[in-house]
Amino acid sequence: MTPAQQSAAALKVCQLAPVVPVLVIDDLAHAAPLARALVAGGLPALEVTLRTPAALDAIRAMADVEGGTVGAGTLLTPADVKAAKKAGATFGVSPGATDSLIKACEDEGLPLLPGAVTATEIMTLLERGYTVQKFFPAEQSGGAAFLKSIGSPIPQVKFCPTGGISLKNAPDYLSLKNILCVGGSWVAPKEAMAAGDWATITKLAAEASALR
């Protein structure tokens, strides 16, 4: 799968909803009901970060939830790519991009949303064929103002910014022409997951899905 083909697939994922939940799952029992709650609220694209021992099993469990599109976040190595694809991830997200990570996604046929944060990084990925990129960490790297500015000289690239984004500031990003969606963890609070309060998560997802 070429970078251009990966970006075409990533574009479809990013167009599913204005917000992609960025999920850190510690308890495997939370995976399926969490996915159902988010999908019910209108957020079908789900990024499970590979930051916990339960992450890969959570991807497997969430992949069976009707209406969901499950991906793996925090991809750092080729081994991460292989494990994510094997677990059922249909897309991958990385905080940055390396040659070995890109090659692994090409070899495994896993659409990658690669991270970039400088003009040079964005241009380098564009040169390889990635027209859809992650901007991370967004708030700490200039936020919506930076992305608005970079859109003038590099209009070919569309972004999914993540990092420090909330219900309050998400509209600042989503109003920009070069923003497809945003990533955020606020739609799945740890307290709600621990309490099994899936109704609250569905409500938060519904609020997020109405953004634009």
The token pair at 79 is: 């081994």
HEC assignment per residue over the chain: CCHHHHHHHHHHHHCCCCEEEEECCCCHHHHHHHHHHHHHCCCCEEEEECCCCCHHHHHHHHCCCCCCEEEEECCCCHHHHHHHHHHCCCCEECCCCCHHHHHHHHHHCCCEECEECCHHHHHHHHHHCCCEEEECCCHHHCHHHHHHHHCCCCCCCEEEEECCCCCCCHHHHHCCCCECCEEECCCCCHHHHHHCCHHHHHHHHHHHHCCC
Query: Quick one: tokens of 187?
Result: 């739609």
Is 121 part of the annotated catalytic residue set? no
Does the annotation count 134 as an active-site position? yes
Q: Which residue has the tokens 């109003």?
A: 175
* Separation of alpha carbons 17 and 146, rounded Å: 23
For 28, the token pair is 């495997």
Q: Which of 85, 108, 134, 158 is catalytic?
A: 134
47, 85, 108, 158: which one is catalytic? 47
Would you please indicate which residues are annotated as catalytic (active-site) residues?
47, 134
